[in-house]
Amino acid sequence: MPKEIHDLIAIGAGPASLSAAVYSTREDIDTILYEKGVIGGLAAITDVIDNYPGFSKGISGLELADDLKNHAERFGAQIRLGEVMSIVPDEGLLKLNTTDGEIFARAVLLATGCDYKKLGIKGEAEYLSRGVHYCATCDGAFYRDKHIVVVGGGNSATQEALFLTKFATKIDMIVRGDKLRASEILIDEVTKNPKIKIHYNVTPNEIVGDGQKVIKVAATNTVTNKPIDYVTDGVFVFIGLKPNTEFLKDGPVELNEIGQIITDDDLKTNVKGVFAAGDVRQHATMQIASAVGEGAKAALEIREYLNELARV
Amino acid sequence: MVKNITIFTTNTCAYCKMVKQFLNTKGFSYDEINLDDQPEKQQEAFALSGQLTVPITLVTKADDTKQVIVGYNLAQLAPAIA
């Protein structure tokens, strides 16, 4: 059976990858994207994106993801719903082991983005989706007129806490440090919202349930060193991001100590023909605008790389 | 052989959209229960899955056996409609 070979396979279909696909397909580069999760990545599960230039009134994450997808597909990008398990150089090509079988590419773009970190405390796994959640836009509707705890103090936590006020009557926001680490506009909104109470210097120790559902978060005030309980119907966790690079751990692509992909200024990894862009890359700013820019740059670098390959 | 498929969704749920897209690409039709429009159906979704989340996909086979898939889980969804 002949090998299935493509010019470019992008892994992930978030803003970086979809932006790259707009550019690559316009250059007539045969482009396939693999996405094992949500098209649009974390952007798609964000309620409102208020800092992406060009949308002066903000745009819903789902809508932006749709527009990015439609834009990439308009020029011929093909998005496959499946997973890439490994990448290895193979006789001048890159061999990808995927849920569709072995596929080969002349160039690969790693743009798998990030996922939310887990707390790693007792009760978190036990009550997953029965009171412990990582997606407010998915699961918030189950908390109409309920009491919620939001864990985290960054942009995601503040943004999602504000979204959850559409449903919940009261939100206790548990912040590990002594201040929020979000943009000023979000801090202003969240501190003024009468439904949200922010608790600083608090570390959650356990999510406690009754066997069926969550009933409280047991925590410690790290200043007074005293235990404190937050009675709640559900817990939403937004404590930071981890790069989606598990599938690269045993492969040839170099990662840093926290699993981000190392690239040079031209977005090239240490493996010939493999590029990286967006939130998964070392030094990423974790902003959609940056990811889109990096995607475009990666596509142009890949075009140069493919042209060089063709000249050899 | 699939007899029918019902998906519990919400308006803002990106994973719900992925389930619908996957079923569309495979040529399956489905009924959708949007919990933003029909919040009274939340208990039904919870009774099926035991979880407070969407999407919940209920696949009923020709022999009336049922399979419930929680979330956008291709490893479970693909064989359920095979």
At B42 the three-state DSSP class reads helix
Catalytic (active site) residue A114: no
Tell me if B58 sits within 8 A of B6, measured CB to CB.
yes
* Cis ω for the linkage preceding B55 (within 30 of 0): yes
Tell me, what's the pLDDT at A21? Answer: 98
A70 Cβ contact list (under 8 Å, min separation 6) = none
Split into its structural domains, chain B has a count of 1
Catalytically annotated residue among A138, A178, A229, A264 = A138
pLDDT digits (tens, 9 = 90+) for B4-58: 999 999 999 999 999 999 999 999 999 999 999 999 999 999 999 999 999 999 9
CB-CB: which of B16, B51, B74 is closest to A129?
Answer: B51
pLDDT digits (tens, 9 = 90+) for A60-93: 999 999 999 999 999 999 999 999 999 999 999 9
Q: What is the CATH number of the domain that holds B50?
A: 3.40.30.10
User: Would you call A130 and B52 a contact, using CB atoms and an 8 Å cutoff?
Assistant: yes
Catalytic (active site) residue A139: yes
CA distance A206 to chain B (A): 20
CB-CB: which of B10, B17, B72 is closest to A141?
Answer: B10
Structural fold of domain A5-115+241-311: FAD/NAD(P)-binding domain (3.50.50)
pLDDT digits (tens, 9 = 90+) for A234-269: 999 999 999 999 999 999 999 999 999 999 999 999
Confidence of residue A312 (pLDDT cuts 50, 70, 90): confident
ipTM, 2 decimals?
A: 0.86
Catalytic (active site) residue A135: yes
Confidence of residue A2 (pLDDT cuts 50, 70, 90): confident
Tell me, what's the pLDDT at A174? Answer: 98
Task: Please give the backbone phi and psi of residue B16, each rounded to the nearest 5 degrees, phi first.
Answer: -60, -40
Residues 53-82 of A with CB under 8 A from B: 60-62, 65, 81-82
CB-CB: which of B46, B51, B72 is closest to A38?
Answer: B72
Confidence of residue A223 (pLDDT cuts 50, 70, 90): very high
pLDDT digits (tens, 9 = 90+) for A284-303: 999 999 999 999 999 999 99
A138 Cβ under 8 Å from any chain B Cβ: yes
A236 sits in the region (left: phi over 0; alpha: psi -120 to 50; else beta) called beta
Residues of chain A above pLDDT 90, percent: 98
User: Would you call B74 and A81 a contact, using CB atoms and an 8 Å cutoff?
Assistant: yes
Tell me if A124 sits within 8 A of A25, measured CB to CB.
no
User: Would you call B53 and A133 a contact, using CB atoms and an 8 Å cutoff?
Assistant: yes
Tell me, what's the pLDDT at A205? Answer: 98
CATH superfamily of this structure's domain A118-237:
FAD/NAD(P)-binding domain (3.50.50.60)
Which of B69, B71, B27, B36 lies closest to A142, judged by CA? B36
* In chain A, where the domains are located: 5-115+241-311, 118-237
Residue A1 has pLDDT above 90, yes or no: no
Q: What is the pTM of this model?
A: 0.91
Decide if A5-115+241-311 and A118-237 have a common fold. Answer: yes
Tell me, what's the pLDDT at A247? Answer: 96
Tell me if A291 sits within 8 A of A112, measured CB to CB.
no
Q: How far apart, in Å, are the Cα atoms of A224 and each of A50, A119, A180, A201?
A: 37, 22, 19, 9
Confidence of residue B67 (pLDDT cuts 50, 70, 90): very high
Residue A273 has pLDDT above 90, yes or no: yes
What is the C-alpha separation between A277 and A300, in angstroms, rounded? 12
A99 Cβ under 8 Å from any chain B Cβ: yes
CB-CB: which of A37, A99, A137 is closest to B13?
Answer: A137
Residue A103 has pLDDT above 80, yes or no: yes
Domain that holds residue B55: 2-81
What is the C-alpha separation between A108 and A94, in angstroms, rounded? 7
